[in-house]
Amino acid sequence: MLPQNLQVNIPEIDIEHDHLFAFLESFKEYCFDRSPIPEEKRSALYGLLVSHFKTEERLAISAGVDFSGHEDAHEKMLETVSQALSQMASNNGDLYSLIRYIGYWFEIHILRYDLTLAKCLTISIVH
């Protein structure tokens, strides 16, 4: 369960954030004694990020919220993760740094972008 300050009070988003953080934890354990990380595991992590970002985009568009800056932030993050994952194909030495990066990125991103999106979504539901 995410700490209170990272909850945005839009259930669909909060559930996915919870799921993502839980996945990162299990990914860390899974990778502990496996090198290289199987392709399907790397794809699962990447796919989860893509799918979450699509959820936020869909919610924003359906509420008529401008999503361009937020979308840029998602795309830059995906680019970084994608590069790191492909370099890890033969060696997962940097895996823990990547997992820490993703966790840290999400904390900052939720506070800076997702909470703002949630406020706009809540306003659009009320009106």
Q: Which residues bind Fe ion (CB under 5 A)?
A: 56, 113-114
CA–CA gap between residue 49 and residue 77 (Å, rounded): 9
CA dihedral 71, 73, 74, 78 (to 10 degrees): 140
Residue 57, class by beta-carbon neighbours within 10 Å (0-12 exposed, 13-18 middle, 19+ buried)? middle
Q: Which is nearer to Fe ion, 56 or 121 (CB)?
A: 56
Measured at the CA of 11, the angle between CA 68 and CA 82, to 5 degrees, comes to 50
Sequence-ordered list of residues with C-beta below 8 angstroms from that of 50, at least 6 positions apart, any chain = 78
Instruction: Specify the residue, 27 or 113, whose C-beta has the smaller distance to Fe ion.
Output: 113
Q: Which residue has the CB atom at the shortest distance from Fe ion?
A: 114
Amino acid letter at 103? Answer: G
**Closest distance to Fe ion from the beta carbon of 32 (Å):** 27
Check: CB of residue 86 under 8 Å from CB of residue 94: no
Question: Which residue lies nearer to Fe ion by CB, 50 or 84?
Answer: 50
Nearer Cβ to Fe ion, position 89 or 123? Answer: 123
